[in-house]
A and B are shown apart, each in its own frame.
Chain A
Amino acid sequence: MMRRAIVATLALALVAAACTTSNDSPPASGSSAPVTITLLTHDSFDVTKSVLRGFEDRTGITVNVVAAGDAGQLANRLILASGNPEGDVAFGVDNDQLSELFAKDVFVPYESAGLGDVAPDLLVDDQHRVTPIDHGEVCVNIDMRRYVGGTPLPSSLDDLAAPAFRDQLVVENPATSTPGLAFLLATVAAYGDPGFEDYWRRLRDNGVTVVDGWERAYFGEFSGAGGGEGTHPMVVSYATSPVAEVVFADPPITVPPTAVLTDTCYRQIEFAGVLRGTGHEAAAQQLVDFLLSQPFQEDIPLRMFVYPASTTARLPAVFRHNAATVTDPYEVSPADVAAHRADWVARWSDVMGQ
């Protein structure tokens, strides 16, 4: 027994020694030497394996993908490790986080050739510290089965506070949930500051339900979710949730049970950037180029359920048929978000008694 304990102790010491060398970065390399770079992202990231292999085979660059937690945790980890990054490229930071990330000087500028194909309204950083890769909208989803016959359909933010739609809406708490914060920002963009407070008072008096996270809102409270158990016919979710309802249905369905109110949306753009302090700047730039290239852009919709930034990427059929087209989403500038987020969330909490 004792001998085993000693062996185990030694093993642990060896392990400790081994893991200090397990992720050492390759030495500064010429163009032909194999390079491994790390892509830091959030846990909603996904890519078809063969698409990523295509990039690796073509360039000789091996990509190590690390999910650093949810989108907020990713941003924090980038800020904490600014200048001494955990990886070489970050993907998945959004417009609401940019101000803080720029203040901490997390990225080095890089202007990808692929930017020519990107929709102009996604190009928010003229210094090219970050590159837009995709965008998604947070919108109110409705359960179509509940609005049949003569039942009036809601459409605007104002409708959500109207007596006809009393007790129907479920929202996420902006203090705990990313879509919750996005929806709060939509109301700030629509009604201004302090007008949004009054709007939320009206929502409150109209019986809005607040929960902590998207999962609980969508599966627990919303009646339209496949497999869910809720009773409310309206929920704050994503413009692409109806598509996901079709893709992740078992048994398969062709028409989603839900629809999107396209006048209630807030835009979230996701960016990639080369991390300051990377030892592989050229390879990192190639990876950013790849994220904007046709194969990756066309892979985005069915892997992450957001829209590609490139206007030349073709959407899959299930997207073309079922995803809502949001033409004029609400937006708040990154600087305003950084300056007022804590205050807006605190005042929302006061109004809602959360």
Chain B
Amino acid sequence: MSRRARIAILALPVAFLLLFFVFPFVSIVWEGLASDQTAIGRVLGEARVRDVIWFTLWQAAASTALTLAIGLPIAYALSRFAFRGRAAVEALVVVPFVLPTVVVGMAFSGLRGSIVAILAAHVFFNIAVVVRVVGAAWATVDPELEDAADELGASGLRRFTRVLLPLARPAIVTAATLVFLFTFTSFGVVLLLGGAGQTTIEVEIFRRTSQQLDLSAAAVLALIQLLFVSVLLIADAVLASRRPVLPPPAEQGGRAPRTRGERTFGVVAVLGAIALVAVPLWRLVRRSFVGSEGATLANYLHIGEGRRGGLFEIDPGAAIWTSVRSAALAATIALVVGGLVSIGVALGARSRGIWAIVAIPLGVSAVTLGFGYVVAFDADPLDLRGSTWLVPLAQALVALPFVVRIVAPAMAAAHASLGEGAASLGASPWRALRDATLPACAGAIRTAAVFAFVVALGEFGATAFLARAEHPTVPVAIARLLGQPGSASIGQASALAVILLVITAAAALTIGRGRIGSFGQS
């Protein structure tokens, strides 16, 4: 299709990113740097800042290595072996990824203060990325390939290192890039669980902004973080262009484990996955049923009671409704914008470069962007300050990369095989898109919608800053409960967290074995 059509389709996504990401970010950084020209030299000269950058880098590298080490066996077992309950285990593994950091922080509070807490929480959070991305690559491998290697006398380990590992290498690089990106910009986990000297750049930005009123230093730090994230995403895009394109993933494949070794490996990996996810969540669930006099339902029945009648009261029903409505709006916006991007990709735009661009907001500090909104949208016709639209817009920005990552490859593959076929039969390009390509990736679009919804549901950083106080979302309400003394507070916060967990898990289950897998391939 023509270049002009591509430009027309990509116009809205580009306008969206320019308006709601680039403009506010540039505004706030400009504001910070203009008020203090010496800021760059001053901040870079601080030993503390160098320590922070170093800690950010090494904890992200360690978290990534650990997540891969633990996630790869699980990905293998879940993608190569067929067994009863596999879909449920896969859904369970996704749950942590979309949980709000407030909740994860509570689940790991027992380890707090040590680096172990941060690394464990990061693995818990990101295991889904490895399992989904790499598992999807392995799911496409024809079992006969393994059988052939088997017949040629290759041992199980040799089959793995010589056949399966090389086939998944692009997916492993992608998964590692994503995990590194998420842990490099880690905020809530580090703020809630970190001890002395354990500060990421993102947390340092928050400190300078909120505690020291030093927006100039915050701007410099935000630029440093952006620089690292951009280098990472560009490197990923360049590496990806040399990778072979994998065929779209097969429907749920795999076979029953055959040898005793395979069976043992499968059982250990699956039970390990369940334990990894379920143990921290179980701690949280148990806490929600504990009162000062033993087991109780009181935490659930009395959520927010101490604040009744106040303007900023916590009504769990209203908070759930606010959360769900806002997340649904965010998912709609992300789906429209991401869907257009994906159509652009299907029509031949360079997919990796586009993904790198839509992913950059993930690497930008939520605090910085929040202030950016305040500075940028301060005059008519776009005085959005105080508008109820800010929360879904900010959440949509966070959900957008996931939508593109899920929908674009599916759409490109479908268009290549079906749409162009239809076009060659004489259908107009639009018709080919509408009647052949889009129906073929309905599954990916549904998965993307659910994923965008749960990511928005759990978003805390930007939401806490932009949400209207009379209408808190569930994560904001949890944080509010945790901000007051009293024996009821922690129990009720746990109860509300469990409610959020149930909503999230229900949504994640509807993704089922959907094509988040296509994540890694473009």
Q: Which residues of A contact B468 (CB under 8 A)?
A: 66-67
| Chain A 27-48 interface residues, beta-carbon cutoff 8 Å to B | 38, 41, 43-48
Q: Which residues of A contact B483 (CB under 8 A)?
A: 44, 214-215
- CB pair A249–B487 under 8 Å, yes or no, is yes
- CB pair B371–A20 under 8 Å, yes or no, is no
B249 within 8 A of A: no
Stretch at the interface among B63-71, B228-236, B255-263, B291-299: B291-299
B177 within 8 A of A: no
B382 within 8 A of A: yes
A128 within 8 A of B: no
| Chain B 447-497 interface residues, beta-carbon cutoff 8 Å to A | 464-465, 467-470, 480, 482-492
- CB pair A212–B487 under 8 Å, yes or no, is no
A77 within 8 A of B: yes
Q: In the docked arrangement, what's the CA distance between A218 and B481, Å?
A: 13
Q: In the docked arrangement, what's the CA distance between A345 and B333, Å?
A: 43
Given contacts A2-B433, A22-B387, A353-B197, contact A72 B374 (CB under 8 A): no
Q: Which residues of A contact B482 (CB under 8 A)?
A: 215, 219
Q: In the docked arrangement, what's the CA distance between A72 and B211, Å?
A: 6
- CB pair B486–A248 under 8 Å, yes or no, is yes
B438 within 8 A of A: yes
| Chain A 124-150 interface residues, beta-carbon cutoff 8 Å to B | none
Of B191, B312, B333, the contact of A12 (CB 8 Å cutoff): B333
- CB pair A237–B491 under 8 Å, yes or no, is no
Of B206, B291, B384, B485, the contact of A225 (CB 8 Å cutoff): B485
Stretch at the interface among B153-161, B212-220, B320-328: B212-220
A75 within 8 A of B: yes
Closest B-chain residue to A299, C-beta based? B310
- CB pair A241–B487 under 8 Å, yes or no, is no
Closest B-chain residue to A215, C-beta based? B482
Given contacts A216-B192, A244-B484, contact A86 B112 (CB under 8 A): no
Interface residues on A, range: 35 or more
B14 within 8 A of A: no
Q: Which residues of A contact B389 (CB under 8 A)?
A: 15, 19, 22
- Residue among A81, A84, A219, A227 having the largest count of chain B Cβ atoms under 10 Å: A227
Q: A348 to nearest B CB, angstroms?
A: 12
Closest A-chain residue to B441, C-beta based? A1
- CB pair B470–A65 under 8 Å, yes or no, is yes
| Chain B 290-333 interface residues, beta-carbon cutoff 8 Å to A | 291-293, 298-299, 302, 305-307, 309-313, 332-333
Stretch at the interface among A160-168, A174-182, A189-197: A174-182
Q: In the docked arrangement, what's the CA distance between A346 and B43, Å?
A: 13
- CB pair A67–B312 under 8 Å, yes or no, is yes
Q: Which residues of A contact B243 (CB under 8 A)?
A: none
Q: Which residues of A contact B425 (CB under 8 A)?
A: none
Q: In the docked arrangement, what's the CA distance between A66 and B433, Å?
A: 45
A97 within 8 A of B: yes
Q: Which residues of A contact B517 (CB under 8 A)?
A: none
Q: Which residues of A contact B214 (CB under 8 A)?
A: 342
Of A47, A73, A354, the contact of B197 (CB 8 Å cutoff): A354
- CB pair A66–B386 under 8 Å, yes or no, is yes
Q: In the docked arrangement, what's the CA distance between A244 and B481, Å?
A: 12
Of B196, B336, B484, the contact of A5 (CB 8 Å cutoff): B336
- CB pair B292–A69 under 8 Å, yes or no, is no
Q: Which residues of B contact A79 (CB under 8 A)?
A: 213
- CB pair B488–A249 under 8 Å, yes or no, is yes
Of B291, B433, B465, the contact of A69 (CB 8 Å cutoff): B465
Of B337, B380, B464, B486, the contact of A227 (CB 8 Å cutoff): B486
Closest A-chain residue to B210, C-beta based? A72
Q: In the docked arrangement, what's the CA distance between A174 and B486, Å?
A: 24
| Chain A 298-354 interface residues, beta-carbon cutoff 8 Å to B | 303, 305, 341-342, 345-346, 349, 352-354
Q: In the docked arrangement, what's the CA distance between A36 and B231, Å?
A: 48
Q: B104 to nearest A CB, angstroms?
A: 14
Q: B1 to nearest A CB, angstroms?
A: 14
Given contacts A15-B389, A210-B196, contact A250 B469 (CB under 8 A): no
Closest B-chain residue to A10, C-beta based? B336
- CB pair A80–B371 under 8 Å, yes or no, is yes
- CB pair B485–A250 under 8 Å, yes or no, is no
A60 within 8 A of B: no
Q: In the docked arrangement, what's the CA distance between A12 and B375, Å?
A: 23
B286 within 8 A of A: no
- CB pair A38–B386 under 8 Å, yes or no, is yes
B520 within 8 A of A: no
Q: A44 to nearest B CB, angstroms?
A: 7
Of B110, B191, B291, the contact of A250 (CB 8 Å cutoff): B291
Q: In the docked arrangement, what's the CA distance between A227 and B482, Å?
A: 11
Q: Which residues of B contact A175 (CB under 8 A)?
A: 207, 211-212
- CB pair B213–A75 under 8 Å, yes or no, is yes
Closest A-chain residue to B306, C-beta based? A248
Q: B229 to nearest A CB, angstroms?
A: 23
Q: Which residues of B contact A24 (CB under 8 A)?
A: 380, 383
- CB pair A227–B336 under 8 Å, yes or no, is no
B109 within 8 A of A: yes
- CB pair B387–A19 under 8 Å, yes or no, is yes
Q: Which residues of A contact B413 (CB under 8 A)?
A: none
Q: In the docked arrangement, what's the CA distance between A325 and B484, Å?
A: 20
Q: Which residues of A contact B363 (CB under 8 A)?
A: none
Q: In the docked arrangement, what's the CA distance between A227 and B291, Å?
A: 7
Q: In the docked arrangement, what's the CA distance between A2 and B343, Å?
A: 11
- CB pair A251–B291 under 8 Å, yes or no, is yes
| Chain A 189-212 interface residues, beta-carbon cutoff 8 Å to B | 210-212
- Residue among A23, A44, A215 having the largest count of chain B Cβ atoms under 10 Å: A215
B442 within 8 A of A: yes
- Residue among A5, A38, A41, A100 having the largest count of chain B Cβ atoms under 10 Å: A5
- CB pair A176–B371 under 8 Å, yes or no, is no
Q: In the docked arrangement, what's the CA distance between A196 and B195, Å?
A: 23
Closest A-chain residue to B485, C-beta based? A244
Q: Which residues of B contact A237 (CB under 8 A)?
A: 485
| Chain B 359-387 interface residues, beta-carbon cutoff 8 Å to A | 367, 370-371, 374-375, 378-387
Closest B-chain residue to A38, C-beta based? B386
Of A45, A228, A246, A352, the contact of B469 (CB 8 Å cutoff): A45
Given contacts A226-B485, A354-B196, contact A64 B386 (CB under 8 A): yes
Given contacts A86-B386, A244-B485, A354-B197, contact A46 B379 (CB under 8 A): no
Given contacts A20-B381, A250-B302, contact A181 B211 (CB under 8 A): yes
- CB pair A67–B291 under 8 Å, yes or no, is no
Of A44, A46, A213, A251, the contact of B298 (CB 8 Å cutoff): A251
Q: Which residues of A contact B367 (CB under 8 A)?
A: 73
B401 within 8 A of A: no
- CB pair A73–B486 under 8 Å, yes or no, is no
List 10 interface pairs A-B (beta carbons < 8 Å), by A numbering: A1-B439, A20-B380, A22-B389, A48-B309, A73-B371, A175-B211, A176-B206, A215-B482, A227-B487, A251-B291
Known: A213-B192, A250-B486. 20 other contacts (CB 8 A): A1-B439, A2-B430, A19-B387, A43-B312, A44-B483, A45-B312, A48-B311, A49-B309, A50-B309, A72-B209, A73-B371, A75-B213, A227-B487, A227-B490, A237-B485, A245-B485, A249-B487, A250-B298, A251-B293, A253-B487
List the interface of chain A (C-beta within 8 A of B).
1-2, 5, 8-9, 12, 15, 19-20, 22-24, 38, 41, 43-50, 52, 64-67, 69-70, 72-73, 75-77, 79-81, 84, 86-87, 97, 100, 174-178, 181, 210-216, 218-220, 225-229, 237, 241, 244-251, 253, 303, 305, 341-342, 345-346, 349, 352-354
List the interface of chain B (C-beta within 8 A of A).
12, 31, 48, 109-110, 112-113, 191-192, 194-197, 203, 206-207, 209-215, 291-293, 298-299, 302, 305-307, 309-313, 332-333, 335-337, 339-340, 367, 370-371, 374-375, 378-389, 430, 433-434, 438-439, 442, 464-465, 467-470, 480, 482-492
Instruction: Give the top 6 A-B pairs by smallest Cβ distance, nearest first.
Output: A248-B486, A226-B487, A67-B469, A72-B210, A250-B488, A2-B434
